[in-house]
A and B are shown apart, each in its own frame.
Chain A
Amino acid sequence: MKSFLIRFVGLLAVLFGITLITFTISYFAPGDKAEAIAHARYPGDFGIAPEVLQGIREEFNLDASFFSQYTHWLADVLRGDFGVSYSSRTSVWVIFVDNLGETVTLTLTSLAIGLTAAFLLSAVAVRYPNTFWDRGAVIISSIGAAMPSYWLSLLLILGVSVHLGWLPAYGTGTFAHLILPAATLAFWVMASQTRLLRTFMLEAYDQPFIETLRLRGIPEREIFSRHVLRHSFVPALTMIGLDMASLLEGAIIVELTFARSGLGSLLAGAVLARDLPVVMFLVMFFATAYVVINSVIDGVQHICDPRNLNKAKTS
Protein backbone atom coordinates (compact mmCIF):
# COMPACT_ATOMS: atom_id res chain seq x y z
CA MET A 1 0.00 0.00 0.00
CA LYS A 2 2.83 2.34 0.90
CA SER A 3 4.64 1.62 -2.34
CA PHE A 4 1.42 2.35 -4.22
CA LEU A 5 1.14 5.72 -2.47
CA ILE A 6 4.74 6.64 -3.32
CA ARG A 7 4.08 5.70 -6.93
CA PHE A 8 0.98 7.85 -6.99
CA VAL A 9 2.79 10.87 -5.54
CA GLY A 10 5.54 10.27 -8.09
CA LEU A 11 2.99 10.22 -10.91
CA LEU A 12 1.48 13.51 -9.70
CA ALA A 13 4.95 15.06 -9.50
CA VAL A 14 5.70 13.97 -13.06
CA LEU A 15 2.39 15.34 -14.37
CA PHE A 16 3.17 18.63 -12.61
CA GLY A 17 6.65 18.61 -14.21
CA ILE A 18 5.07 18.10 -17.63
CA THR A 19 2.88 21.21 -17.26
CA LEU A 20 5.87 23.23 -16.08
CA ILE A 21 8.06 22.19 -19.04
CA THR A 22 5.22 22.81 -21.50
CA PHE A 23 4.54 26.26 -20.13
CA THR A 24 8.23 27.18 -20.06
CA ILE A 25 8.61 26.40 -23.77
CA SER A 26 5.60 28.47 -24.75
CA TYR A 27 6.57 31.33 -22.39
CA PHE A 28 9.96 31.72 -24.03
CA ALA A 29 8.73 31.13 -27.59
CA PRO A 30 9.59 34.17 -29.70
CA GLY A 31 6.87 36.42 -31.11
CA ASP A 32 4.35 38.78 -29.55
CA LYS A 33 1.51 36.71 -28.11
CA ALA A 34 -0.81 39.73 -27.86
CA GLU A 35 -0.39 40.31 -31.58
CA ALA A 36 -1.15 36.66 -32.35
CA ILE A 37 -4.34 36.84 -30.31
CA ALA A 38 -5.31 40.16 -31.93
CA HIS A 39 -4.84 38.73 -35.42
CA ALA A 40 -7.05 35.79 -34.51
CA ARG A 41 -9.74 38.10 -33.16
CA TYR A 42 -9.77 40.65 -35.92
CA PRO A 43 -8.81 38.72 -39.06
CA GLY A 44 -7.79 40.86 -42.00
CA ASP A 45 -7.13 43.86 -39.78
CA PHE A 46 -3.40 44.53 -40.15
CA GLY A 47 -3.06 47.87 -38.37
CA ILE A 48 -4.02 46.84 -34.87
CA ALA A 49 -4.10 49.82 -32.53
CA PRO A 50 -1.61 49.77 -29.64
CA GLU A 51 -4.50 50.30 -27.22
CA VAL A 52 -6.12 47.09 -28.41
CA LEU A 53 -2.87 45.20 -27.91
CA GLN A 54 -2.54 46.71 -24.45
CA GLY A 55 -6.10 45.62 -23.68
CA ILE A 56 -5.31 42.07 -24.75
CA ARG A 57 -2.15 42.05 -22.65
CA GLU A 58 -4.17 43.03 -19.61
CA GLU A 59 -6.96 40.58 -20.39
CA PHE A 60 -4.59 37.62 -20.83
CA ASN A 61 -2.27 38.73 -18.05
CA LEU A 62 0.66 38.78 -20.51
CA ASP A 63 2.66 41.39 -18.59
CA ALA A 64 2.57 39.42 -15.37
CA SER A 65 5.52 37.45 -14.04
CA PHE A 66 6.32 33.93 -15.20
CA PHE A 67 5.03 32.44 -11.99
CA SER A 68 1.74 34.33 -12.01
CA GLN A 69 1.06 33.47 -15.66
CA TYR A 70 1.90 29.83 -15.02
CA THR A 71 -0.48 29.50 -12.06
CA HIS A 72 -3.31 31.17 -13.98
CA TRP A 73 -2.78 28.88 -16.93
CA LEU A 74 -2.48 25.80 -14.71
CA ALA A 75 -5.72 26.70 -12.92
CA ASP A 76 -7.48 26.91 -16.29
CA VAL A 77 -6.04 23.58 -17.40
CA LEU A 78 -7.08 21.87 -14.17
CA ARG A 79 -10.60 23.19 -14.67
CA GLY A 80 -10.56 21.59 -18.13
CA ASP A 81 -10.35 24.92 -19.96
CA PHE A 82 -7.64 24.53 -22.57
CA GLY A 83 -8.26 27.83 -24.30
CA VAL A 84 -9.20 28.81 -27.81
CA SER A 85 -7.12 28.30 -30.95
CA TYR A 86 -5.51 31.54 -32.17
CA SER A 87 -6.01 30.72 -35.82
CA SER A 88 -9.45 29.07 -36.05
CA ARG A 89 -11.00 30.63 -32.90
CA THR A 90 -12.61 27.32 -31.95
CA SER A 91 -12.07 25.58 -28.64
CA VAL A 92 -8.82 23.60 -28.53
CA TRP A 93 -10.70 20.64 -27.10
CA VAL A 94 -13.07 20.54 -30.10
CA ILE A 95 -10.16 20.66 -32.58
CA PHE A 96 -8.43 17.89 -30.65
CA VAL A 97 -11.47 15.61 -30.64
CA ASP A 98 -11.97 16.21 -34.38
CA ASN A 99 -8.45 15.01 -35.14
CA LEU A 100 -8.09 12.29 -32.52
CA GLY A 101 -10.04 9.65 -34.46
CA GLU A 102 -7.68 9.49 -37.45
CA THR A 103 -4.59 9.05 -35.27
CA VAL A 104 -6.23 6.43 -33.04
CA THR A 105 -7.43 4.48 -36.10
CA LEU A 106 -3.94 4.56 -37.61
CA THR A 107 -2.10 3.55 -34.43
CA LEU A 108 -4.51 0.82 -33.38
CA THR A 109 -4.65 -0.72 -36.87
CA SER A 110 -0.86 -0.76 -37.15
CA LEU A 111 -0.45 -2.05 -33.61
CA ALA A 112 -2.89 -4.91 -34.22
CA ILE A 113 -1.32 -5.93 -37.55
CA GLY A 114 2.24 -5.41 -36.36
CA LEU A 115 1.83 -7.31 -33.09
CA THR A 116 0.10 -10.25 -34.77
CA ALA A 117 2.87 -10.48 -37.35
CA ALA A 118 5.56 -10.11 -34.69
CA PHE A 119 3.98 -12.81 -32.60
CA LEU A 120 3.73 -15.29 -35.48
CA LEU A 121 7.24 -14.53 -36.71
CA SER A 122 8.89 -14.87 -33.30
CA ALA A 123 6.90 -18.00 -32.44
CA VAL A 124 8.09 -19.68 -35.63
CA ALA A 125 11.65 -18.44 -35.06
CA VAL A 126 11.77 -19.82 -31.53
CA ARG A 127 10.09 -23.14 -32.34
CA TYR A 128 12.53 -23.79 -35.18
CA PRO A 129 15.82 -22.24 -34.03
CA ASN A 130 18.73 -21.77 -36.46
CA THR A 131 16.60 -22.49 -39.50
CA PHE A 132 15.77 -20.32 -42.46
CA TRP A 133 12.76 -18.92 -40.58
CA ASP A 134 14.77 -17.99 -37.52
CA ARG A 135 17.45 -16.22 -39.57
CA GLY A 136 14.77 -14.50 -41.63
CA ALA A 137 13.04 -13.18 -38.52
CA VAL A 138 16.32 -11.79 -37.19
CA ILE A 139 17.21 -10.14 -40.50
CA ILE A 140 13.75 -8.61 -40.96
CA SER A 141 13.78 -7.20 -37.45
CA SER A 142 17.27 -5.69 -37.90
CA ILE A 143 16.21 -4.04 -41.14
CA GLY A 144 12.92 -2.86 -39.67
CA ALA A 145 14.60 -1.30 -36.64
CA ALA A 146 16.96 0.68 -38.89
CA MET A 147 14.42 1.60 -41.57
CA PRO A 148 13.56 5.31 -41.59
CA SER A 149 9.74 5.28 -41.66
CA TYR A 150 9.55 8.37 -43.90
CA TRP A 151 11.72 6.60 -46.47
CA LEU A 152 9.62 3.43 -46.33
CA SER A 153 6.54 5.64 -46.86
CA LEU A 154 8.12 7.16 -49.97
CA LEU A 155 9.12 3.73 -51.32
CA LEU A 156 5.58 2.42 -50.81
CA ILE A 157 4.10 5.49 -52.50
CA LEU A 158 6.52 5.06 -55.39
CA GLY A 159 5.89 1.34 -55.79
CA VAL A 160 2.23 0.87 -54.94
CA SER A 161 0.69 4.22 -55.84
CA VAL A 162 2.85 5.59 -58.64
CA HIS A 163 3.91 2.45 -60.51
CA LEU A 164 1.08 0.02 -59.79
CA GLY A 165 -1.59 2.66 -59.25
CA TRP A 166 -3.42 0.44 -56.76
CA LEU A 167 -3.85 2.81 -53.84
CA PRO A 168 -4.09 6.56 -53.35
CA ALA A 169 -0.79 8.13 -52.24
CA TYR A 170 -1.89 11.09 -50.15
CA GLY A 171 -4.86 12.11 -48.06
CA THR A 172 -7.37 10.74 -45.57
CA GLY A 173 -10.90 9.49 -45.67
CA THR A 174 -11.43 6.05 -47.15
CA PHE A 175 -10.13 2.66 -46.11
CA ALA A 176 -7.83 2.67 -49.16
CA HIS A 177 -6.10 5.76 -47.74
CA LEU A 178 -5.36 3.89 -44.53
CA ILE A 179 -3.58 0.86 -46.04
CA LEU A 180 -0.17 2.32 -46.94
CA PRO A 181 0.30 4.41 -43.76
CA ALA A 182 -0.81 1.51 -41.58
CA ALA A 183 1.53 -0.85 -43.45
CA THR A 184 4.48 1.51 -42.87
CA LEU A 185 3.82 1.77 -39.16
CA ALA A 186 2.94 -1.92 -38.79
CA PHE A 187 6.26 -2.89 -40.36
CA TRP A 188 8.07 -0.94 -37.66
CA VAL A 189 5.92 -2.47 -34.90
CA MET A 190 6.54 -5.95 -36.29
CA ALA A 191 10.30 -5.45 -36.55
CA SER A 192 10.80 -3.96 -33.10
CA GLN A 193 8.50 -6.40 -31.34
CA THR A 194 9.78 -9.53 -33.13
CA ARG A 195 13.25 -8.73 -31.90
CA LEU A 196 12.04 -8.47 -28.30
CA LEU A 197 9.49 -11.28 -28.29
CA ARG A 198 12.04 -13.66 -29.77
CA THR A 199 14.57 -12.80 -27.03
CA PHE A 200 11.96 -13.08 -24.27
CA MET A 201 10.72 -16.44 -25.57
CA LEU A 202 14.27 -17.78 -25.79
CA GLU A 203 14.87 -16.62 -22.22
CA ALA A 204 11.68 -18.37 -21.15
CA TYR A 205 12.92 -21.60 -22.77
CA ASP A 206 16.10 -21.30 -20.69
CA GLN A 207 14.16 -21.51 -17.44
CA PRO A 208 14.74 -24.74 -15.49
CA PHE A 209 11.04 -25.51 -15.15
CA ILE A 210 10.78 -26.00 -18.92
CA GLU A 211 13.17 -28.94 -18.62
CA THR A 212 11.03 -30.34 -15.81
CA LEU A 213 7.93 -30.08 -17.97
CA ARG A 214 9.74 -31.90 -20.80
CA LEU A 215 10.81 -34.68 -18.44
CA ARG A 216 7.22 -35.06 -17.36
CA GLY A 217 6.36 -35.79 -20.97
CA ILE A 218 4.38 -32.63 -21.72
CA PRO A 219 4.27 -32.13 -25.50
CA GLU A 220 6.32 -29.25 -26.94
CA ARG A 221 3.24 -27.58 -28.32
CA GLU A 222 1.68 -27.37 -24.88
CA ILE A 223 4.90 -26.19 -23.24
CA PHE A 224 5.01 -23.36 -25.74
CA SER A 225 1.41 -22.30 -25.58
CA ARG A 226 0.90 -22.66 -21.83
CA HIS A 227 4.25 -21.77 -20.32
CA VAL A 228 6.68 -20.05 -22.66
CA LEU A 229 4.06 -17.64 -23.98
CA ARG A 230 2.91 -16.64 -20.55
CA HIS A 231 6.45 -16.22 -19.36
CA SER A 232 7.43 -13.93 -22.21
CA PHE A 233 4.24 -11.92 -21.96
CA VAL A 234 5.25 -9.92 -18.89
CA PRO A 235 8.48 -8.37 -20.23
CA ALA A 236 6.88 -7.89 -23.65
CA LEU A 237 4.12 -5.81 -22.10
CA THR A 238 6.63 -3.39 -20.55
CA MET A 239 8.46 -2.97 -23.81
CA ILE A 240 5.24 -2.23 -25.69
CA GLY A 241 4.58 0.51 -23.11
CA LEU A 242 8.03 2.00 -23.53
CA ASP A 243 7.70 1.80 -27.31
CA MET A 244 4.47 3.78 -27.11
CA ALA A 245 6.47 6.98 -27.52
CA SER A 246 8.12 5.62 -30.67
CA LEU A 247 4.72 4.52 -31.95
CA LEU A 248 3.35 8.05 -31.50
CA GLU A 249 6.44 9.49 -33.19
CA GLY A 250 6.05 7.02 -36.02
CA ALA A 251 2.39 7.96 -36.39
CA ILE A 252 3.33 11.64 -36.65
CA ILE A 253 5.98 11.05 -39.32
CA VAL A 254 3.64 8.79 -41.28
CA GLU A 255 0.77 11.28 -41.05
CA LEU A 256 2.96 14.08 -42.34
CA THR A 257 4.49 12.02 -45.15
CA PHE A 258 1.14 10.73 -46.37
CA ALA A 259 -0.53 14.14 -45.78
CA ARG A 260 -3.12 12.49 -43.54
CA SER A 261 -5.13 14.52 -41.08
CA GLY A 262 -4.60 13.63 -37.45
CA LEU A 263 -2.86 14.83 -34.31
CA GLY A 264 0.61 14.80 -35.90
CA SER A 265 -0.39 17.01 -38.80
CA LEU A 266 -2.33 19.18 -36.36
CA LEU A 267 0.77 19.63 -34.17
CA ALA A 268 3.05 20.45 -37.10
CA GLY A 269 0.55 22.92 -38.53
CA ALA A 270 -0.08 24.59 -35.17
CA VAL A 271 3.64 24.87 -34.44
CA LEU A 272 4.35 26.58 -37.76
CA ALA A 273 1.32 28.90 -37.31
CA ARG A 274 2.43 29.65 -33.69
CA ASP A 275 -0.99 28.61 -32.48
CA LEU A 276 0.23 28.29 -28.89
CA PRO A 277 -2.95 27.02 -27.18
CA VAL A 278 -3.17 24.10 -29.61
CA VAL A 279 0.56 23.36 -29.37
CA MET A 280 0.56 23.41 -25.57
CA PHE A 281 -2.45 21.16 -25.34
CA LEU A 282 -1.10 18.60 -27.81
CA VAL A 283 2.35 18.47 -26.23
CA MET A 284 0.76 18.00 -22.83
CA PHE A 285 -1.59 15.37 -24.20
CA PHE A 286 1.23 13.29 -25.72
CA ALA A 287 3.36 13.48 -22.58
CA THR A 288 0.47 12.70 -20.24
CA ALA A 289 -0.74 9.83 -22.41
CA TYR A 290 2.74 8.34 -22.37
CA VAL A 291 3.06 8.59 -18.58
CA VAL A 292 -0.44 7.29 -17.87
CA ILE A 293 -0.16 4.35 -20.31
CA ASN A 294 3.14 3.33 -18.75
CA SER A 295 1.79 3.60 -15.20
CA VAL A 296 -1.16 1.41 -16.16
CA ILE A 297 1.12 -1.14 -17.82
CA ASP A 298 3.34 -1.07 -14.74
CA GLY A 299 0.32 -1.97 -12.63
CA VAL A 300 -0.93 -4.68 -15.00
CA GLN A 301 2.53 -6.20 -15.13
CA HIS A 302 2.68 -6.23 -11.36
CA ILE A 303 -0.59 -8.15 -11.27
CA CYS A 304 0.34 -10.53 -14.12
CA ASP A 305 3.73 -11.57 -12.78
CA PRO A 306 3.13 -14.60 -10.54
CA ARG A 307 6.39 -13.87 -8.69
CA ASN A 308 4.76 -10.79 -7.17
CA LEU A 309 1.91 -12.80 -5.63
CA ASN A 310 3.95 -14.10 -2.72
CA LYS A 311 5.59 -10.73 -2.17
CA ALA A 312 2.20 -9.09 -1.86
CA LYS A 313 1.09 -11.68 0.69
CA THR A 314 4.15 -11.44 2.89
CA SER A 315 4.47 -7.68 2.98
Chain B
Amino acid sequence: MSLSQSIRLSDSPPADPLRQFSKRVGVATLVLLGLWSLALWLTPYQPAAADFLNRLAPPSAAHWAGTDHLGRDIATRLLYGAGWSLGLSLAISLTGFVVGTVVGILAARSGPAGDFAVMRVTDSFFAFPELIAAVTFAGLFGPSTTNLVIALMVVSWMKFARLARALTLSLGDSDFITQARLNGLSNGLILWRHLLPNILPSLLVLWTNSWSRTILSVSGLSFLGFGVQPPSAEWGAMLLDGKAYMQTAPHIMIFPGLAVLLAVMVINLTGDRLRDLMAGKT
Protein backbone atom coordinates (compact mmCIF):
# COMPACT_ATOMS: atom_id res chain seq x y z
CA MET B 1 0.00 0.00 0.00
CA SER B 2 2.66 2.47 1.03
CA LEU B 3 4.77 1.43 -1.93
CA SER B 4 2.08 2.16 -4.50
CA GLN B 5 1.31 5.44 -2.75
CA SER B 6 4.90 6.56 -2.86
CA ILE B 7 5.06 5.65 -6.53
CA ARG B 8 1.95 7.66 -7.24
CA LEU B 9 3.48 10.66 -5.49
CA SER B 10 6.33 10.70 -7.97
CA ASP B 11 5.36 11.33 -11.57
CA SER B 12 5.94 7.82 -12.95
CA PRO B 13 2.80 5.79 -13.79
CA PRO B 14 1.65 3.29 -11.10
CA ALA B 15 3.34 -0.10 -11.37
CA ASP B 16 0.94 -2.89 -12.32
CA PRO B 17 1.91 -5.98 -10.29
CA LEU B 18 -0.03 -8.24 -12.64
CA ARG B 19 1.87 -6.99 -15.68
CA GLN B 20 5.18 -7.23 -13.81
CA PHE B 21 4.39 -10.78 -12.82
CA SER B 22 3.44 -11.76 -16.39
CA LYS B 23 6.72 -10.32 -17.62
CA ARG B 24 8.65 -12.26 -15.01
CA VAL B 25 6.84 -15.51 -15.91
CA GLY B 26 7.57 -14.89 -19.59
CA VAL B 27 11.28 -14.33 -18.96
CA ALA B 28 11.48 -17.37 -16.67
CA THR B 29 9.78 -19.54 -19.32
CA LEU B 30 12.22 -18.39 -22.00
CA VAL B 31 15.21 -19.00 -19.71
CA LEU B 32 13.95 -22.49 -18.85
CA LEU B 33 13.33 -23.31 -22.52
CA GLY B 34 16.85 -22.04 -23.34
CA LEU B 35 18.46 -24.12 -20.58
CA TRP B 36 16.46 -27.16 -21.68
CA SER B 37 17.59 -26.91 -25.32
CA LEU B 38 21.15 -26.25 -24.19
CA ALA B 39 21.09 -29.36 -21.98
CA LEU B 40 19.63 -31.46 -24.81
CA TRP B 41 22.44 -30.25 -27.05
CA LEU B 42 25.20 -30.73 -24.47
CA THR B 43 24.31 -34.15 -23.13
CA PRO B 44 26.67 -36.81 -24.48
CA TYR B 45 24.00 -39.54 -24.27
CA GLN B 46 21.06 -40.62 -26.41
CA PRO B 47 17.75 -41.35 -24.62
CA ALA B 48 17.48 -44.84 -26.12
CA ALA B 49 21.17 -45.81 -26.19
CA ALA B 50 21.65 -48.95 -24.08
CA ASP B 51 24.97 -49.54 -22.30
CA PHE B 52 24.90 -52.99 -20.74
CA LEU B 53 28.22 -52.61 -18.91
CA ASN B 54 26.73 -49.75 -16.91
CA ARG B 55 23.35 -51.18 -15.90
CA LEU B 56 21.63 -49.84 -12.77
CA ALA B 57 24.57 -47.56 -11.93
CA PRO B 58 23.87 -45.14 -9.06
CA PRO B 59 24.25 -41.38 -9.64
CA SER B 60 27.85 -40.40 -10.44
CA ALA B 61 29.82 -37.68 -12.23
CA ALA B 62 29.34 -39.43 -15.58
CA HIS B 63 25.64 -40.20 -15.04
CA TRP B 64 24.16 -37.44 -12.86
CA ALA B 65 20.98 -39.38 -12.12
CA GLY B 66 22.41 -42.86 -12.63
CA THR B 67 21.44 -45.36 -15.32
CA ASP B 68 18.42 -47.64 -15.68
CA HIS B 69 18.10 -51.39 -16.26
CA LEU B 70 19.39 -51.06 -19.84
CA GLY B 71 22.20 -48.70 -18.89
CA ARG B 72 20.46 -45.68 -20.39
CA ASP B 73 21.35 -42.33 -18.83
CA ILE B 74 18.39 -41.29 -16.64
CA ALA B 75 19.17 -37.56 -16.65
CA THR B 76 19.13 -37.53 -20.46
CA ARG B 77 15.89 -39.50 -20.52
CA LEU B 78 14.34 -37.04 -18.06
CA LEU B 79 15.25 -34.17 -20.42
CA TYR B 80 13.64 -35.90 -23.38
CA GLY B 81 10.76 -36.99 -21.15
CA ALA B 82 9.91 -33.35 -20.43
CA GLY B 83 8.89 -33.10 -24.07
CA TRP B 84 6.48 -35.98 -23.64
CA SER B 85 5.10 -35.28 -20.16
CA LEU B 86 4.92 -31.50 -20.30
CA GLY B 87 4.43 -31.16 -24.06
CA LEU B 88 1.56 -33.61 -24.45
CA SER B 89 -0.27 -32.23 -21.44
CA LEU B 90 0.30 -28.69 -22.71
CA ALA B 91 -1.32 -29.58 -26.04
CA ILE B 92 -4.20 -31.37 -24.32
CA SER B 93 -4.96 -28.58 -21.87
CA LEU B 94 -4.69 -25.89 -24.58
CA THR B 95 -7.22 -27.79 -26.69
CA GLY B 96 -9.54 -27.97 -23.69
CA PHE B 97 -9.03 -24.26 -23.09
CA VAL B 98 -9.98 -23.25 -26.64
CA VAL B 99 -12.85 -25.72 -27.14
CA GLY B 100 -14.30 -25.12 -23.69
CA THR B 101 -14.18 -21.34 -24.01
CA VAL B 102 -15.95 -21.46 -27.39
CA VAL B 103 -18.62 -23.85 -26.07
CA GLY B 104 -19.15 -21.77 -22.93
CA ILE B 105 -19.54 -18.47 -24.78
CA LEU B 106 -21.87 -20.10 -27.33
CA ALA B 107 -24.01 -21.52 -24.51
CA ALA B 108 -24.26 -18.15 -22.78
CA ARG B 109 -25.14 -16.37 -26.04
CA SER B 110 -27.70 -18.85 -27.37
CA GLY B 111 -30.70 -18.12 -25.17
CA PRO B 112 -32.18 -20.12 -22.27
CA ALA B 113 -33.16 -23.24 -24.23
CA GLY B 114 -29.87 -23.53 -26.11
CA ASP B 115 -27.97 -22.80 -22.91
CA PHE B 116 -29.83 -25.56 -21.06
CA ALA B 117 -29.15 -28.07 -23.84
CA VAL B 118 -25.45 -27.24 -24.25
CA MET B 119 -24.81 -27.24 -20.52
CA ARG B 120 -26.52 -30.62 -19.98
CA VAL B 121 -24.28 -32.09 -22.71
CA THR B 122 -21.33 -30.52 -20.89
CA ASP B 123 -22.53 -32.02 -17.58
CA SER B 124 -22.83 -35.45 -19.20
CA PHE B 125 -19.18 -35.33 -20.26
CA PHE B 126 -18.21 -33.82 -16.92
CA ALA B 127 -19.64 -36.86 -15.13
CA PHE B 128 -16.88 -39.12 -16.47
CA PRO B 129 -13.81 -38.77 -14.27
CA GLU B 130 -10.83 -38.05 -16.58
CA LEU B 131 -8.85 -41.08 -15.58
CA ILE B 132 -11.74 -43.51 -15.94
CA ALA B 133 -12.61 -42.14 -19.37
CA ALA B 134 -8.97 -42.36 -20.43
CA VAL B 135 -8.42 -45.89 -19.08
CA THR B 136 -11.60 -47.07 -20.83
CA PHE B 137 -10.88 -45.39 -24.14
CA ALA B 138 -7.16 -46.09 -24.29
CA GLY B 139 -7.74 -49.64 -23.06
CA LEU B 140 -10.51 -50.55 -25.53
CA PHE B 141 -8.93 -48.86 -28.54
CA GLY B 142 -5.44 -50.09 -27.70
CA PRO B 143 -3.00 -48.33 -25.33
CA SER B 144 -0.99 -45.81 -27.33
CA THR B 145 0.06 -42.19 -27.14
CA THR B 146 -2.49 -41.16 -29.78
CA ASN B 147 -5.40 -42.81 -27.98
CA LEU B 148 -4.29 -41.35 -24.66
CA VAL B 149 -4.21 -37.85 -26.14
CA ILE B 150 -7.62 -38.28 -27.82
CA ALA B 151 -9.17 -39.61 -24.61
CA LEU B 152 -7.80 -36.80 -22.43
CA MET B 153 -8.77 -34.14 -24.98
CA VAL B 154 -12.36 -35.40 -25.05
CA VAL B 155 -12.65 -34.87 -21.28
CA SER B 156 -10.53 -31.70 -21.02
CA TRP B 157 -12.94 -28.92 -22.03
CA MET B 158 -15.89 -29.05 -19.62
CA LYS B 159 -14.47 -26.95 -16.79
CA PHE B 160 -13.55 -24.21 -19.26
CA ALA B 161 -17.05 -24.32 -20.76
CA ARG B 162 -18.65 -23.91 -17.32
CA LEU B 163 -16.40 -21.03 -16.31
CA ALA B 164 -16.58 -19.24 -19.69
CA ARG B 165 -20.37 -19.50 -19.64
CA ALA B 166 -20.66 -18.18 -16.08
CA LEU B 167 -18.32 -15.27 -16.81
CA THR B 168 -20.03 -14.40 -20.09
CA LEU B 169 -23.45 -14.44 -18.45
CA SER B 170 -22.28 -12.25 -15.59
CA LEU B 171 -20.77 -9.73 -18.00
CA GLY B 172 -23.69 -9.83 -20.46
CA ASP B 173 -25.71 -7.08 -18.81
CA SER B 174 -22.81 -4.97 -17.57
CA ASP B 175 -22.75 -1.29 -18.49
CA PHE B 176 -19.77 -1.34 -20.82
CA ILE B 177 -21.24 -4.12 -22.96
CA THR B 178 -24.54 -2.24 -23.23
CA GLN B 179 -22.59 0.91 -24.07
CA ALA B 180 -20.69 -0.89 -26.80
CA ARG B 181 -23.92 -2.29 -28.21
CA LEU B 182 -25.55 1.17 -28.17
CA ASN B 183 -22.53 2.50 -30.02
CA GLY B 184 -23.44 0.08 -32.80
CA LEU B 185 -20.57 -2.37 -32.45
CA SER B 186 -21.17 -5.74 -34.08
CA ASN B 187 -21.50 -8.85 -31.94
CA GLY B 188 -18.15 -10.16 -33.14
CA LEU B 189 -16.38 -6.94 -32.27
CA ILE B 190 -17.97 -6.81 -28.81
CA LEU B 191 -16.89 -10.38 -28.26
CA TRP B 192 -13.34 -9.78 -29.39
CA ARG B 193 -12.69 -6.37 -27.85
CA HIS B 194 -14.81 -6.33 -24.70
CA LEU B 195 -15.82 -9.81 -23.65
CA LEU B 196 -12.70 -11.90 -24.27
CA PRO B 197 -10.19 -9.56 -22.60
CA ASN B 198 -12.37 -9.61 -19.49
CA ILE B 199 -12.92 -13.35 -19.20
CA LEU B 200 -9.48 -14.54 -20.35
CA PRO B 201 -7.54 -13.92 -17.10
CA SER B 202 -9.81 -16.20 -15.03
CA LEU B 203 -9.72 -18.84 -17.75
CA LEU B 204 -5.93 -18.58 -17.76
CA VAL B 205 -5.80 -19.40 -14.04
CA LEU B 206 -8.03 -22.41 -14.67
CA TRP B 207 -5.73 -23.40 -17.53
CA THR B 208 -2.62 -23.54 -15.29
CA ASN B 209 -4.62 -25.82 -13.00
CA SER B 210 -5.74 -27.95 -15.92
CA TRP B 211 -2.21 -28.23 -17.32
CA SER B 212 -0.77 -29.48 -14.04
CA ARG B 213 -3.63 -31.94 -13.57
CA THR B 214 -3.08 -33.23 -17.10
CA ILE B 215 0.62 -33.79 -16.37
CA LEU B 216 -0.44 -36.02 -13.48
CA SER B 217 -2.96 -37.84 -15.70
CA VAL B 218 -0.55 -38.39 -18.60
CA SER B 219 2.24 -39.71 -16.41
CA GLY B 220 -0.17 -41.68 -14.21
CA LEU B 221 -1.80 -43.39 -17.18
CA SER B 222 1.59 -44.14 -18.72
CA PHE B 223 2.70 -45.59 -15.39
CA LEU B 224 -0.36 -47.85 -15.41
CA GLY B 225 0.43 -48.94 -18.96
CA PHE B 226 -2.44 -47.12 -20.69
CA GLY B 227 -0.48 -44.24 -22.18
CA VAL B 228 2.92 -43.57 -23.67
CA GLN B 229 4.61 -46.96 -24.02
CA PRO B 230 7.94 -47.75 -22.28
CA PRO B 231 10.75 -47.32 -24.79
CA SER B 232 9.66 -43.67 -24.94
CA ALA B 233 11.09 -41.60 -22.11
CA GLU B 234 7.81 -40.26 -20.68
CA TRP B 235 8.23 -39.73 -16.91
CA GLY B 236 5.41 -42.06 -15.90
CA ALA B 237 6.63 -44.74 -18.32
CA MET B 238 10.12 -44.37 -16.80
CA LEU B 239 8.64 -44.98 -13.35
CA LEU B 240 7.00 -48.11 -14.70
CA ASP B 241 10.43 -49.25 -15.90
CA GLY B 242 11.97 -48.49 -12.52
CA LYS B 243 9.30 -50.21 -10.45
CA ALA B 244 10.78 -53.68 -10.97
CA TYR B 245 14.23 -52.53 -9.78
CA MET B 246 12.96 -50.66 -6.74
CA GLN B 247 14.94 -52.75 -4.27
CA THR B 248 18.33 -52.81 -6.01
CA ALA B 249 18.29 -49.40 -7.72
CA PRO B 250 15.77 -47.02 -6.12
CA HIS B 251 17.22 -44.04 -8.02
CA ILE B 252 15.43 -45.22 -11.20
CA MET B 253 12.06 -44.46 -9.65
CA ILE B 254 13.09 -41.50 -7.48
CA PHE B 255 14.07 -39.04 -10.21
CA PRO B 256 11.12 -39.32 -12.64
CA GLY B 257 8.66 -38.93 -9.74
CA LEU B 258 10.57 -35.94 -8.46
CA ALA B 259 10.42 -34.39 -11.94
CA VAL B 260 6.62 -34.75 -12.05
CA LEU B 261 6.26 -33.36 -8.53
CA LEU B 262 8.42 -30.30 -9.25
CA ALA B 263 6.84 -29.53 -12.62
CA VAL B 264 3.33 -29.72 -11.21
CA MET B 265 4.27 -27.64 -8.16
CA VAL B 266 5.86 -24.87 -10.21
CA ILE B 267 2.82 -24.61 -12.49
CA ASN B 268 0.40 -24.71 -9.54
CA LEU B 269 2.25 -22.01 -7.61
CA THR B 270 2.42 -19.79 -10.71
CA GLY B 271 -1.33 -20.19 -11.14
CA ASP B 272 -1.97 -19.44 -7.45
CA ARG B 273 0.10 -16.27 -7.62
CA LEU B 274 -1.70 -15.18 -10.78
CA ARG B 275 -5.06 -15.75 -9.10
CA ASP B 276 -4.04 -13.82 -5.98
CA LEU B 277 -2.77 -10.89 -8.06
CA MET B 278 -6.02 -10.77 -10.03
CA ALA B 279 -8.07 -10.92 -6.86
CA GLY B 280 -6.07 -8.00 -5.52
CA LYS B 281 -6.62 -6.01 -8.70
CA THR B 282 -10.40 -6.07 -8.72
Contact = CB atoms under 8 A, between A and B. Distances in A.
A290 B129 contact: yes
Interface string B109-150: 000000010001101110111111101110111100000000
A25 B243 CA distance: 32
Contacts of A30: 140-142
Given A17-B121, A283-B136, A290 B127 contact: yes
Given A18-B127, A249-B131, A252-B135, A146 B140 contact: no
Contact of B140 (A29, A154, A291): A29
A101 interface: no
Contacts, number: 130
A29 B142 CA distance: 9
Interface stretch (B51-59, B188-196, B260-268): B260-268
B141 A151 contact: no
B268 A279 contact: no
Contacts of B140: 25-26, 29-30, 271, 274, 279
A145 B261 CA distance: 9
Given A145-B268, A274-B140, A14 B129 contact: no
Contact of A21 (B125, B131, B142, B253): B125
A142 B269 contact: yes
Interface stretch (A57-65, A71-79, A82-90, A155-163): A155-163
Contacts of A143: 261, 265
B127 A288 contact: yes
A286 B220 contact: no
B226 to A, nearest CB: 8
A13 interface: yes
A162 B246 contact: yes
Nearest to A28: B141
Nearest to A263: B132
Nearest to B253: A154
B220 A253 contact: yes
A143 B262 CA distance: 9
Given A17-B123, A162-B247, A146 B261 contact: yes
A256 interface: yes
A267 B120 CA distance: 26
Contacts of B123: 10, 14, 17, 291
B216 interface: yes
Interface in A161-196: 162
6 contacts: A145-B264, A151-B257, A158-B247, A268-B135, A287-B129, A291-B123
Contacts of A136: none
A147 B129 contact: no
A148 interface: yes
Interface in A1-55: 10, 13-14, 16-18, 20-21, 25-26, 29-30
Given A10-B116, A142-B265, A25 B127 contact: no
A147 B136 contact: no
A267 B131 CA distance: 11
Contacts of A151: 239, 253, 256-257, 260-261
Contacts of B243: 154
A272 interface: yes
A17 B118 CA distance: 11
Given A146-B212, A151-B260, A151-B261, A248 B136 contact: no
B206 interface: no
Interface string A104-123: 00000000000000000000
Contact of A154 (B212, B226, B257): B257
A131 B264 CA distance: 26
B130 A268 contact: no
B223 interface: yes
